[in-house]
């Protein structure tokens, strides 16, 4: 009888420790997912308002997603300068000198992960763009405002661990108070 009570106390303590670990892991999970929620295909404006740029110059998409380019001024194209091995992106149709005008749209679906670099041939090298294809379409460095700094985050985790630690201690105290006699006798 007394041995059973003792082991109940031991299991309970281990349970509390497990709960503390789980709580910390859950807190970490929430922090990780909040940064990479929107993994959507991107739209790039070509020559916005006549400026000789692609806007945005770099887009991040997930494998299998489609990027669409929309011409906002004349005489631009997309010539691919670099891409991952095995990828067969060819840019806009026709030779390098073939350009397209305002209102034109072009899209490409990226099946191979990696980095793609392209230019507008008439306006290169200044007018250049990049497509980065990764697993979830997230950018590697989230905007400063969106991602919580690491120190408050780990402090939060520490706080949770402390709370679980206190609960664990209270639980043990409860078992000691209730089964104190049996506990001492069993060892």
Of the residues 127, 131, 132, 133, which one makes contact with Cu ion according to CB under 5 A: 127
Of the residues 76, 83, 100, 116, which one makes contact with Cu ion according to CB under 5 A: 76
d(CA 129, CA 138): 17
How far apart are CB 87 and Cu ion at their closest, in Å? 23
Based on CB atoms, which residue is closest to Cu ion, 76 or 108? 76
Under the binding rule (CB under 5 A), the answer on residue 104 touching Cu ion is no
Non-local CB neighbours of 33 within 8 Å, separated by 6+ positions: none
- Cα-atom radius of gyration of the chain, to the nearest Å? 29
**Token pair of 177 as six digits:** 């108070």
How far apart are CB 48 and Cu ion at their closest, in Å? 11
Of the residues 13, 104, 123, 156, which one makes contact with Cu ion according to CB under 5 A: 123
Residue nearest to Cu ion (CB): 120
How far apart are CB 123 and Cu ion at their closest, in Å? 4
d(CA 185, CA 2): 7
Footprint on residues 165-184 left by Cu ion (CB under 5 A): none
Edge-to-edge strands of the sheet including 79-82? 58-62, 128-134, 114-119, 79-82
Under the binding rule (CB under 5 A), the answer on residue 132 touching Cu ion is no
């Amino acid at each position: 009888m007394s041995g059973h009570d003792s082991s109940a106390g031991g299991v309970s303590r281990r349970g509390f420790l497990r709960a503390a670990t789980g709580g910390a892991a859950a807190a970490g999970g929430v922090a990780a997912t909040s940064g990479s929620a929107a993994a959507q295909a991107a739209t790039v404006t070509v020559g916005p308002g006549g400026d000789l740029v692609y806007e945005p110059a770099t887009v991040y998409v997930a494998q299998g997603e489609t990027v669409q380019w929309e011409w906002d001024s004349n005489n631009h194209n997309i010539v691919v300068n670099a891409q991952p091995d095995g990828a067969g992106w060819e840019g806009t149709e026709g030779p390098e000198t073939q350009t397209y005008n305002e209102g034109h749209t072009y899209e490409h679906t990226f099946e191979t992960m990696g980095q793609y670099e392209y230019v507008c041939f008439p306006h290169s090298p200044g007018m250049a763009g990049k497509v980065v294809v990764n697993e979830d379409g997230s950018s590697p460095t989230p905007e400063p405002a969106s991602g919580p700094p690491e120190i408050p985050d780990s402090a939060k985790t520490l706080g949770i661990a402390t709370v679980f630690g206190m609960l664990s201690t209270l639980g043990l105290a409860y078992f000691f108070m209730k089964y104190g006699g049996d506990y001492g006798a069993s060892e």
